[in-house]
């Protein structure tokens, strides 16, 4: 233990400083305090390390906003009522924090996404799952009772119709990032009994809000970091934007174009337009002439599926009436 100065030694030291016998090294003290002031200190919680960058989190949010739109439309078609789905939160947590934030019992689904290794979690709140079941069974979901119990086997069969559509939509949206296929593993009611990663492992939790008037509830999609680590490089902002731009690649364009090539469309050449009175219309007879304000050598309007697209001239080809295309036109062009 270091020696401790008694009161006499302290008084002697202070007197020596005041008389100038002992000089204070103020420059070193000032330099140390200045270094402390200029040093950038950031708090770092070793229990919750930030392993996913902000750019990657924004990319994940954008990816699942597309999923929310598509899943909402699919769910609305199945339930024959308007269902709104939106991304509410995107955050990093430990798996333990995520599990303790969930109600018990709830609808807790374990998902796999081949070829990615590991499992993901999807939790759907009872506040929305029971109104959805009520709607599937023909109810109005206005007075749906929310029981505090696990789902029965029949209810789980009905909910599987929802999760099947959800997994199909997830697969479609994630295919823009990686060729992956989501599938359902196990379904649990108590999330505390499921341990897919270590309690202190970092997970990304995407929270959704589902609204089916007058009911609303939440849905949480938990992605462990070690599952998406192989594709993290594709989630960088520049790489993701470039990837998103290539989503409608040339092969898909050629495929759609190939299907449309054989589609038949109605093409109509409009010779002229004019107006007549109802009296003249009633008195029309074979041989009568209707005069228009259009010159005989002027262009005709060629309509494709009822929309003006081209200008043309009337003629004959191989003993048939024909038109010769002269130029493209828009709706504002008057011929």
Q: Which domain holds residue 103?
A: 54-248
Average pLDDT over residues 158-163: 90
Residue 12 lies in a domain: no
Give the CA angle between residues 47, 223, 42 to the nearest 5°: 35
Distance CA 243, CA 241 (A): 5
- 129 neighbors 107 (Cβ within 8 angstroms): yes
205 and 333, same structural domain? Answer: no
171 and 239, same structural domain? Answer: yes
Average pLDDT over residues 211-234: 86
232 and 308, same structural domain? Answer: no
User: Does 157 have pLDDT greater than 60?
Assistant: yes
269 and 242, same structural domain? Answer: no
For helices 126-136 and 153-174, angle between their N-to-C axes, nearest 10 degrees: 110
User: Does 239 have pLDDT greater than 50?
Assistant: no
Residue labelled with tokens 């070690």: 226
User: Does 110 have pLDDT greater than 70?
Assistant: yes
56-101 pLDDT, tens per residue?
888 888 889 989 999 999 888 888 888 899 999 999 988 999 999 8
pTM here is 0.57
5-32 pLDDT, tens per residue?
677 777 777 777 777 665 555 555 555 5
Residue 75 lies in a domain: yes
Residue labelled with tokens 């998902």: 111
The dihedrals phi and psi of 44, each to the nearest 5 degrees, come to -135, 120
């Amino acid at each position: 233990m270091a020696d401790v100065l008694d009161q006499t030694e302290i008084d002697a030291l202070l007197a020596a400083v005041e008389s100038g016998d002992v000089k204070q090294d103020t420059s070193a003290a000032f330099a140390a305090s200045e270094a402390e002031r200029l040093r950038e200190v950031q708090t770092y919680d070793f229990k919750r390390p930030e392993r996913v960058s902000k750019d990657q989190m924004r990319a994940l949010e954008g990816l699942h906003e597309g999923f929310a739109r598509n899943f909402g439309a699919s769910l609305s078609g199945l339930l024959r009522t308007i269902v709104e789905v939106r991304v509410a939160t995107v955050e990093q947590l430990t798996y333990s924090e995520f599990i303790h934030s969930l109600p018990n019992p709830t609808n807790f689904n374990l998902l796999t996404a081949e070829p990615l290794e590991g499992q993901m979690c999807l939790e759907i709140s009872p506040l929305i799952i029971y109104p959805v079941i009520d709607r599937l069974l023909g109810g109005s979901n206005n007075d749906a009772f929310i029981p505090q119990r696990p789902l029965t086997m029949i209810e789980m069969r009905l909910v599987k119709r929802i999760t099947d559509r959800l997994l199909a939509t997830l697969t479609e949206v994630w295919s823009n990032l990686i060729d992956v296929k989501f599938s359902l593993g196990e379904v649990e009611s108590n999330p505390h009994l499921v341990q897919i990663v270590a309690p202190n492992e970092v997970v990304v939790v995407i929270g959704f809000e589902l609204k089916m008037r007058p009911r609303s509830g939440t849905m949480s999609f938990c992605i462990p970091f070690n599952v998406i680590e192989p594709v993290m490089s594709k989630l960088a902002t520049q790489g993701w934007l470039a990837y998103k731009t290539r989503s409608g690649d040339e092969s898909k364009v050629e495929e759609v174009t190939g299907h449309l090539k054989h589609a038949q469309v109605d093409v109509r050449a409009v010779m002229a337009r004019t107006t007549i009175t109802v009296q003249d219309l009633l008195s029309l007879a074979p041989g009568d002439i209707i005069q228009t304000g259009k010159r005989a050598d002027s262009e005709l309007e060629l309509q494709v599926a009822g929309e003006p697209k081209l200008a043309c001239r009337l003629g004959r080809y191989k003993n048939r009436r024909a038109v010769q295309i002269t130029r493209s036109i828009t709706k504002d062009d008057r011929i």
